[in-house]
Structure 1
Amino acid sequence: MQIKSFSARTLDANALKSFAHPMRLRIYELLDENGPSTATRLAALLAQNSGATSYHLRELAKHGMIEVVRGMGRGKEKYWRVTPGGFSFGDPPADPEAAGALDYLLDDLVRQRGAELSRWRQEGDRAPEEWIQASGFGRRSLRLTAEETARMRDEVFGVLERYRALSDERQEEHPEGEGQAGHVIVHFDVLPLGAVRDR
């Protein structure tokens, strides 16, 4: 059964293999968190040379993960940003190399989520009050059928999609992150633990 995608695009096997690279993942994270940046600025943050960051930026752009921000930069200077619309990993690919890349990306997703939760635990009490009030942790343990679980997942993703569209629109209007909008991370997982029974 194909998983419904609420993202603008699903990564194909070549994109999965290209994205599953530590430096590209880190560059993507930095662009996602801090907004548009140049190869030179990213190189300084990553203790790399700008030739290396330029190469990885071009690889990410080749697969539609990032794009050049029109109207920013002077001369040949390019500002890069995460491509609006998001992406999904899709179903496990048949190609063994792409399947290994997907495993790598999913493991990195788990790492990143843990790091984001830990960071908020450390700095959350110093955030402005309105952001503290707007934040939340949630975990529910439910007894549902597979059909009910899929329906719930799709409903929640539908809500997230509406807010993603709002965020993308804001990003188009203010590529440098102007205004009162903050960088908000939403974690949502549906994990049917126990679906695989040990015999």
Structure 2
Amino acid sequence: MERKSYSARTLDTGALKSFAHPLRLRLYELLEERGPATATQLAGQVGENTGATSYHLRELARHQMIEIVPGMGRGKEKYWRVTPGGYSYGETPPEPEAAEALEFLMDDLIRQRGAELARWREEERDAPEEWVQASGFGRRALRLTPGETTAMRDAIFAVLERYRALSDARLQDPAEDPALGRVVVHFDVFPVGARRDPERE
């Protein structure tokens, strides 16, 4: 059964293979975290030359992961940003090379989540009180059926989708609210101990 997607697009096989590259992932992460930047600015942050970062930015743009920011930059200077709407990985692709790329991306997603949580634990002590109060950590172990789990997942993603749309709409507004901050939401739902036992089938 195909999973319901709450992102603007699901990465196809070509995009999966292209995205599963350490430098492209890092460039995407920097644009997502720090906002629009040029190839030259990003080159300084990742320790690469501008030619290399330009090439990898074009590759990300070719698969609609990032886009040029209209109205920013002088002359031929291009500012890049993450494409609004988000993305999802979708189902495990049948091609071995694409499946390997998906494994790489999932491992990087887990790494990134751990790094972000650890960083917030460090930053929290010096963060403004209103952001400390707005943040939260949560974990629940529930007894649910697959159908109930699906319904819960979809309800949570529907809420996240409303706030994603609100966030994306702000990209069109040149007057940015000084109260705005970059907020990361981690959400995972999965069964524990659900591995199939061939001897019982």
TM-score range, shorter chain: over 0.9
Q: Does 1:39 align with 2:69?
A: no
Q: Does 1:186 align with 2:185?
A: yes
Q: SS in structure 1 opposite 2:81?
A: strand
Counterpart CA distance in 1 for 2:165 and 2:81 is 16
Counterpart CA distance in 2 for 1:140 and 1:20 is 31
**TM-score using structure 1 length:** 0.97
Counterpart CA distance in 2 for 1:181 and 1:84 is 17
Counterpart CA distance in 2 for 1:141 and 1:162 is 26
Deviation track 1:32-60 (CA, whole Å, cap 9, x = no partner) reads 00000000000000111000000000000
Counterpart CA distance in 1 for 2:63 and 2:136 is 34
Deviation track 1:145-188 (CA, whole Å, cap 9, x = no partner) reads 0000000000000000000000000122149x663210000000
Counterpart CA distance in 1 for 2:137 and 2:125 is 14
Structure 2 counterpart of 1:113: 113
Counterpart CA distance in 1 for 2:120 and 2:170 is 24
- Within 5 Å, which residues of 2 pair with 1:87-126? 87-126=87-126
Structure 2 counterpart of 1:166: 166
Counterpart CA distance in 2 for 1:120 and 1:24 is 24
List runs of 5+ in structure 2 lacking aligned partners: none
Q: SS in structure 1 opposite 2:67?
A: strand
List runs of 5+ in structure 1 lacking aligned partners: none
Please list every run of at least 4 consecutive aligned residues from structure 1 whose deviation after the TM superposition is greater than 4 angstroms. Answer: none
> Displacement, 1:125?
1.4
Structure 1 counterpart of 2:150: 150
Give the aligned CA root-mean-square deviation in angstroms.
1.2
Q: What's the % identity of the aligned pairs?
A: 68
Structure 2 counterpart of 1:49: 49
1:144 maps to amino acid: L
Q: SS in structure 2 opposite 1:9?
A: coil
Counterpart CA distance in 1 for 2:130 and 2:178 is 15
Q: SS in structure 1 opposite 2:185?
A: coil
Structure 2 counterpart of 1:5: 5
2:48 maps to amino acid: Q
Counterpart CA distance in 2 for 1:173 and 1:62 is 26
1:24 maps to amino acid: R
Counterpart CA distance in 2 for 1:154 and 1:62 is 30
Task: Work out the number of aligned pairs and report it.
Answer: 198
1:85 maps to amino acid: G
